[in-house]
Every structure is written in structure tokens, then in C-alpha cells.
Amino acid sequence: MPVPKRKIREAVIESIFQLNFFEIKLDELIENLNDICKEKKINMEEPLIYVKYIKENLSSIDKIIEDNLKNWSFDRIGNVEKSVLRLAIYEILEKKETPIKVIIDEAIELSKKYSEETSGKFVNGILDRIARKYERL
């Protein structure tokens, strides 16, 4: 039985969250992801692809976020929101088979789950701009 994408996204967010605080090696991220996947009882194969891509492309992903902020600095973005945006940008760029509406809706729900209800609007605004630039809307 396939793992629900929501569980995969949650595992990725929980794993990459620590990128907000310090430089961490990929093998440490993978070890952490393995623990999270065991706890969630999901196979690590797909979340691992996400985590590797995000870690390896972190500066370019963050640049995409920064380029799409309006009257806001990257440093002011909450850590949960950064993690959710990084995940969503990976999906926008690499998961062309996933409808953009699904990517954005999931990001909104995850930001509300892990942060505040109002963070969904912030995430939505940024992802909407990014999706338009990458012609996914």
C-alpha cells in the first residue's frame, strides 16, 4: 500500500527543520530522517530523495524564496515556514506530475499544522508568485 504523500511531506519537514539552526552534514540529516520514518512507520526511499535534493540545493532554493518576498526579509521568515517553502519549491521544480494546486494546498495545511493558522496565507502568497514564475499556474 502506498504511503500517503502527507506523511512523506511531514517526515521531510521534520528532518529539514534543523537546517534552520546550523550547518548539518547530509549523513546526519539522513540519520535523522531514518529515525523519523521509523517513528511514522514509512519507507525512507521517497523522503530521502526530497531531503537530499533540498540539502544539495539549499542556497538556490532559499534564493527563490528571497526573490519572491514582498516587503519582507528572508531572516524574518519563521523556521517552520522556511521548511515548508523549501519542500514546496522542491515539488514545484521536480514533481511536475503533482498538480500545483495540490502542492500549494499541502504547504498551506502543513504550515498551519506546524506553526500558526495565519502562516498559511503567508506561504500561499509566496508559493503563488513562485508557481507563476515557473509557469505552473
Give the domain ranges of the chain.
5-133
Residue 73 confidence (pLDDT): 94
Taking the CA of residue 47 as centre, how many other CA atoms within 13 Å lie in the half-sphere pointing to its CB?
Answer: 29
- The CATH class that applies to domain 5-133 reads mainly alpha
Per-residue pLDDT at 28 exceeds 90: yes
- Residue 39 backbone dihedrals phi, psi, to 5 degrees: -60, -40
> pTM for the whole thing?
0.94
Residue 22 confidence (pLDDT): 84
Residue 3 confidence (pLDDT): 72
CA distances from 29 to 10, 21, 124, 125 (A): 15, 13, 27, 29
